Structure formats: C-alpha cells, structure tokens
Amino acid sequence: SQQGEEDPQALSIQEGENATMNCSYKTSINNLQWYRQNSGRGLVHLILIRSNEREKHSGRLRVTLDTSKKSSSLLITASRAADTASYFCATDANTDKLIFGTGTRLQVFP
C-alpha cells in the first residue's frame, strides 16, 4: 500500500483564505517533503522537514510533522489564485527513494 495519503483529495477556497492539507504515512521516515504540481507539469519542491523537526516555515507555507501520529500538514496562508495546483507529500520510508501520495487538488477562486 502507498506510503503517503493526502487529505482532502480536493479543496476549494476563496482568495485570501487559508488552505490546509494533511498527509498520513505508514512507516518511519528520515524526512518528509511537500511538492506542488501545476496541471500537466512537473513537480516543484516546496519544503523538506526532517524527522526531528516539528514545524517549518517558508514564506506563506507552514509545515508541521508529528512522527508519533505519522502525519504532516501543509498550511498555505492568504491563498492566491496562483496557488491553484495539486500538492503532494513524499516520504523516504528510511530508504533512498521517495514515495508520493495521490495529492490534494487545491482550487483557489479569485
């Protein structure tokens, strides 16, 4: 079964609102990464959080990691229409490979 699962599968919000996406995984990890993908394009790395970190910020992005619950969340504050994309979490499952979830499709309406 897949390592990462994002929740919700789809999210629609208005510009200016915050968007929160969650990721759950099954095995222990060294780090967890979040990626963004615009429709039909490649993925773009957003942020990496290590297993010994609990929270990380990058601009309007805030990522949390709870290793006891095997879960992570990505918060995008003050969303913009340009944030419309799919967001994926990826974990390493203590290997040298990344395993991606199915993603959350975020739609931000102007």
Question: Which residues, numbered 71-110, are part of the site for other proteins (CB under 8 A)?
Answer: 88, 92, 95-103
**3-state secondary structure at position 90:** strand
Strand partners, 13: 108
Taking the complex as a whole, the smallest distance from the CB of residue 12 to other proteins amounts, in Å, to 18
> Rounded distance, CA 54 to CA 65, Å?
5
Q: Which of 8, 16, 18, 41 binds other proteins (CB under 8 A)?
A: 41
Region for 92 from its dihedrals, namely left if φ exceeds 0, alpha if ψ lies in -120 to 50, beta otherwise: alpha
**Cα distance between the two ends of the chain:** 37
Task: Compare residues 14 and 27 and give the one whose CB is closer to other proteins.
Answer: 27
User: CB of 14: closest distance to other proteins in angstroms?
Assistant: 26
Residue 33 binding other proteins, by CB under 8 A: yes
Q: Which of 83, 85, 89, 84 is nearest to 102 (CA)?
A: 89
Stretch that binds other proteins, among 18-26, 37-45, 55-63, 72-80 (CB under 8 A): 37-45
Q: Which residues bind to other proteins, rule: CB under 8 A? A: 2, 4, 30-31, 33, 35, 40-45, 48, 88, 92, 95-103
